[in-house]
Structure 1
Amino acid sequence: MNNKAISIILGGGQGSRLYPLTATRSKPAVPIAGKYRLVDIPISNCLNSDIKRMFVLTQFNSASLNKHIKHTYQFSYFSDAFVDVLAAEQTPENKGWFQGTADAVRQSLHHFKNYESEYVLILSGDQLYHMDFNKMIEAHEASGAELSIATLPVDAKAATSFGILKADHQQWIEKFIEKPDDSLLPDWTSEVSEEMKQQDRHYLASMGIYLFNKQLLIDVLNASDADDFGKAIIPKCVEENKVLSYEYTGYWTDIGNIDYFFEANLDLTRTLPQFNLFDNKNSVFTRPRVLPPTKVSGTQLDRSLLAEGSIIEAERIEDSIIGVRSRIGKSTVIKRSYVMGNNRFESQKSLDECEAKNVPKMGVGDHCHIENCIIDKNARVGNNVTIIGTHEKGEQETASYVIKEGIVVIKNAAVIPDGTTI
């Protein structure tokens, strides 16, 4: 086990840009790829890097996240490994909610500052990437840096959407700007690898991944009441401390809104996805489930992921993800969609009650057409339902669904009656 570092995973705020997926859960608890949660990504990266002491800071809608972590990351009693959830709490010193990323870590300092470690690795709970943090630690130590920031080379078009760091030829960060205007970009190019130069990716975007010398983190948080790392703490450190850019050139995406979330998931269905789930060196860990294999009857499948425990009788499923315990009815067509599945199997008693009340079963019924759609967990989509997401429909919200960025999102446990067209 790597005892040099402990990891702090930020649970995020209200996650309003991912609404309605965050209506009943925190951002890190949102399901991805049919069987995982977003928080599994940073935790798995830590475990694959042999960093096995982690704290997850939570605040909003944290019940499902807490349950997932409790049931997933159980280590031997003879090991020092742990994943502990730290919820916002009132103390004599802090009587309010977390006000930002830095404030969350500041209010939680007393929980982890006495653990034996040289470094604190701060991660976001809503990003999709593979990274070996040992290489980042090695670069940090070799340089003598006090803080290292993982940076992603981006082109001019993307640079205006990120915090941009300017680094010299030795990768020391000289200055920082948040989402620069196009007119300022010529002054913010940095030395990047030849491969990145050939792709015109001359700007270093902050990935929100920070490796602090532990004492520096404690000192800078105690000396300031600033709430946010990106807006206040990092610029201050760049001015006063030795801050290194650790250039990362692999796949990384910030799953901050519905469109990014949707496309990141559908990309997993490609023959060669940018984020590879089939990689022994970069396993993604999650809750072990005792579920039967998925049963498929008469369905044409193309470029799709099927999680376990599902019963599928659809006519065709393409470019889609079908989550755990899903039920897809006969003669149904699903294209470019993410069906998250269900938290449980329905009992025969429940099925009989639904039939008596004319309520659809959990899952997707017969003779449906689903396209450009996310169906959240435990939703009930009846028979002969058509749901097609398009930009022409604009932004909408009803009691059972939301339309955002041309994507229809069926809410958690929503009921869509037979014959509905959206």
Structure 2
Amino acid sequence: METDMLERRGRGKVMAFVMAGGEGSRLRPLTTDRCKPAVPFGSRYRIVDFVLTNLVNSDIRSIYLLVQYKPQSLIEHIRKAWTVSALFSDQFVTVVPPQMTKERTLFGGTSDAVYQSLNLMDMHRPDLVAVFGADHIYRMDVRQMVRFHRENDADISVAALPVPLEQASNFGIIETDESRRISGFQEKPRQAKSMPNDPRRAYASMGNYLFNADLLRVALEEAHKQGETDFGHDVIPRLSRSHRVFAYDFSTNIVPGTKPYEEKGYWRDVGTLDTYFEAHRDVLGLEPHFDVFNPQWPIFSSHYDGPTAWVKQGKLDNVVLGAAAIVNNATIRNSILRREVVVEPGAQIEDCIIMDYVRIGRGARLRHVVIDRHNVVPPGAKIGFDHASDRAKYHVTEGGLVVVPLGDVRYYSREEQRLGGGYSE
């Protein structure tokens, strides 16, 4: 109650830095021409939309997006989709590149990125600063983490996801006492230290942090002097030895409108092509692990004024269609088709992600394939059935996922019916 009163009176302000400079090398070729946060997800989103949605829905609307690697696609998306308010100076999503100087031209790491942007804090004078990553698929009411931070009189809070011990070697692991105060860190350990109250699980760092603003400034100035550049590896482990640093248990976070069938505490780091593909499977079905439709916690993205999807004829089983997609007498199973995809007669698509402005030719067959934007699959083509042949043209993961890179830019796949391409019988 007291926390809510403080926020209503204008004190206790929270501003956010979102770390959106990720190169995403393990997502190539999807990140050959764009940064990781700009990679499309689902039928209408980008990966960055999830963290921005969580912040905005949590009433944190002073947001700086720190960019670096091939940011143009992300910048265009933010410009079109994330105009929060033109009426209030403290409601914005603003892109911030590295502050180029004689000494440096790029961010040296996550903490160095915020250090270069400390002047932005002076403009808003926040009480707390959220430093969140932009690379994950999840829902989170950040207000609950803020409440935890204040109730524990914390200097820093780190969002922590309970994971089975057998999976702990994939994460940075946090050691805590029974009060959740952090006592140590383990970087992808073979034998992780379990949670105090659960010997089967360990706390994994989600890369989302809350700082008392005054401490953040002092800590980053000290880190700069010592040549430290990263929060997770340098700054927070050092501060945990001298300050009150706590782990916020993400599994306790309750987002309104979450369905009973959804996976509790759903969070995915889509850092590889195979995990990116698996996360798409999680949004399919009548009772998905992660249901993107939640009117009480809407996921915001780009506004689109075009026509709706249209199925003239076909067999569709467990399929999500983006706006203005056209399916004409085709068979599609367990797949996601984004905006303005055209599927011609006789095509067969199974376990695929088809991105915007792609045209699938008559009789083409696709299985376990991701096709990036602006591609034309020729009539009768087969992709995903002969990996030896596929590797000569495309990227094939160890899991057998075929990824077709970005095609030549073209925004008229839906209009080719008028240009002689045709899709009707």
Question: TM-score higher than 0.5 here?
Answer: yes
| Alignment match, 2:396 | 403
- Contact kept? 1:380, 1:414, Cα under 8 Å: no
What is the one-letter code of the residue matched to 2:93? Answer: V
C-alpha separation between the residues in 2 aligned to 1:77 and 1:290?
21
Provide the C-alpha distance between the structure 2 equivalents of 1:76 and 1:16, rounded to a whole number of angstroms: 34
Aligned pair 1:139/2:139, yes or no? no
> Following the alignment from structure 1 to structure 2, what is the Cα–Cα distance between the partners of residues 201 and 339?
39
Q: Distance in 2 between matches of 1:99 and 1:379?
A: 36
Secondary structure (helix, strand or coil) at the match of 2:240 reads helix
* Cα drift, residue 112 of structure 1: 2.8
Question: Closer, same or farther in 2 for the Cα pair 1:44/1:315, shift >3 Å?
Answer: same
Secondary structure at 2:170's aligned position in 1? coil
The equivalent position to 2:93 in structure 1, one of 83, 89, 92, is 83
Is the 1:341–1:363 contact (alpha carbons within 8 Å) kept by the matching residues of 2? no
1: CA distance, partners of 2:292 / 2:201: 29
**How large is the Cα RMSD of the aligned pairs?**
1.9
Residues 1:367 and 1:153: Cα distance change in structure 2 (over 3 Å): same
How many residues are aligned here? 382
State the match for 2:258 in structure 1: none
Amino acid at match of 2:139: H
What is the aligned counterpart of 1:240 among 239, 242, 254? 242
Please, which of 249, 258, 274 is the counterpart of residue 273 of structure 2? 258
Rate the CA distance shift 1:241–1:165 in 2: closer, same or farther, 3 A.
same
Aligned partners of 1:217 and 1:310: how far apart in 2? 47
Residue 48 (structure 1) shift = 0.8
1:139 maps to amino acid: F
Paired residue secondary structure (1:180): coil
How many percent identity over aligned positions? 32
Deviation at 1:116, TM superposition (A): 2.3
Give 1:397 deviation, angstroms: 5.5
TM-aligned CA deviation for residue 219 of structure 1: 1.0
Matched, 1:172 2:177: no
Residues 305-327 of structure 1: CA distance to partner in whole angstroms, max 9, x if unpaired? 10111111142111100000101
1:208 matched residue in structure 2: 207
Distance in 1, Cα, partners of 2:104 & 2:131: 24
2:327 is aligned with 1:312: yes
Supply the distance in 2 between the matched residues of 1:389 and 1:49 (Cα, whole angstroms): 45
Contact 2:133 2:208 in 1 (8 A): yes
- Secondary structure, counterpart of 2:296 in structure 1: helix
Confirm whether residue 341 of structure 1 aligns to residue 356 of structure 2.
Answer: yes
Task: State how far apart, in whole Å, the 2-side matches of 1:83 and 1:397 are.
Answer: 40
- Report deviation, 1:281: 2.0
- Among 338, 346, 357, the alignment partner of 1:323 is 338
The unaligned stretches of length 5 or more in structure 1 are: 343-361, 416-422
Cα deviation for residue 393 of structure 1 reads: 4.9
Kindly provide the amino acid, as one letter, of the partner of residue 87 in structure 1. Answer: P
Once residues 291 and 284 of structure 2 are traced to their aligned partners in structure 1, the CA distance between those partners, rounded to angstroms, is: 10
Contact 2:321 2:338 in 1 (8 A): yes
Matched position secondary structure for 2:247: strand
CA shift, 1:389, in A, is 6.1
Contact preservation (8 Å) 2:61, 2:84: no
SS in 2 for 1:28: helix
| 1:382 matched to 2:378 | yes
The partner residue of 1:100 within 85, 90, 109 is: 109
Q: Which moved more, 1:305-314 or 1:109-118?
A: 109-118
SS in 1 for 2:215: helix
In structure 2, how many angstroms separate the alpha carbons of the residues matched to 1:389 and 1:132?
Answer: 43
CA distance in 2, matches of 1:236, 1:402: 41
1:48 to 2:57 alignment: yes
Residues 239-262 of structure 1: CA distance to partner in whole angstroms, max 9, x if unpaired?
121111100121001111101101
- Counterpart of 1:289 (choices 288, 298, 304) is 304
- Give SS of 1:319's match: strand
CA shift, 1:272, in A, is 1.8
Instruction: Give the whole-Å Cα distance in 2 for the aligned partners of 1:337 and 1:177.
Output: 37
Work out whether residues 346 and 362 of structure 2, in 8 Å CA contact, stay in contact via their aligned partners in 1: yes
Provide the rounded CA distance (Å) in 2 between the counterparts of 1:122 and 1:130.
16
Query: Contact (CA 8 Å) 1:327, 1:364: kept in 2 or not?
Result: yes
CA distance 1:266–1:393, shift in 2 (3 Å): farther
The answer for the alignment partner of 1:123 in structure 2 is: 132
Q: Does the 8 A contact of 1:48 with 1:281 survive in 2?
A: no
3-state DSSP of counterpart to 1:21: coil
Whole-angstrom CA distance in 1 between matches of 2:329 and 2:372: 19
1:389/1:61 CA distance change after superposition, 3 Å: farther
CA distance in 1, matches of 2:16, 2:385: 39
Pair 1:64-2:64 in alignment: no
| SS class of match (2:291) | coil
